[in-house]
């Protein structure tokens, strides 16, 4: 178990996923409905399922390697 400060997004691999998702959504045509946003997010997450090396990269930064072991 690792102690993380109460607010430390730079230490969380999950935040790297969130940043990746936000960047992908920003590159798309404007999303104007909740359903369209959900569909776009699901498409991106499905692409990530097919790219384990990309997911692995979320854990490779020097400050998040603790989570890879």
pLDDT per residue as tens digits for the range 30-68: 888 999 999 999 999 999 999 999 998 888 888 887 777
> Is residue 45 situated within a structural domain?
yes
Q: Which domain holds residue 53?
A: 13-60
pLDDT value for 52: 92
Is 24 domain-assigned? yes
What span, in angstroms and rounded, lies between the C-alpha atoms of 11 and 3? 11
Residue 1 confidence (pLDDT) above 90: no
- Per-residue pLDDT band for 4 (boundaries 50, 70, 90) equals confident
Around 52, how many Cα atoms within 13 Å sit in the side-chain half-sphere?
0
| In the predicted structure, residue 69 carries a pLDDT above the cut 70 | no
Average pLDDT over every residue of 16-22: 92
How many independent structural domains does the chain possess? Answer: 1
In a domain, 69, yes or no: no
Task: Flag whether 40 is in a domain.
Answer: yes
Residue 6 lies in a domain: no
Asked if residue 4 is part of any domain, the answer here is: no
Q: Indicate whether 1 belongs to any domain.
A: no
């Amino acid at each position: 178990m690792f102690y993380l400060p109460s607010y430390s997004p730079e230490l969380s691999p999950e935040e790297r996923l969130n940043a990746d998702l936000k960047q992908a959504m920003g590159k798309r045509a404007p999303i104007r409905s909740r359903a369209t946003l959900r569909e776009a997010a699901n498409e991106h997450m499905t692409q990530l399922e097919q790219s384990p090396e990309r997911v692995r990269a979320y854990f490779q930064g020097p400050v998040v390697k603790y989570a890879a072991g």
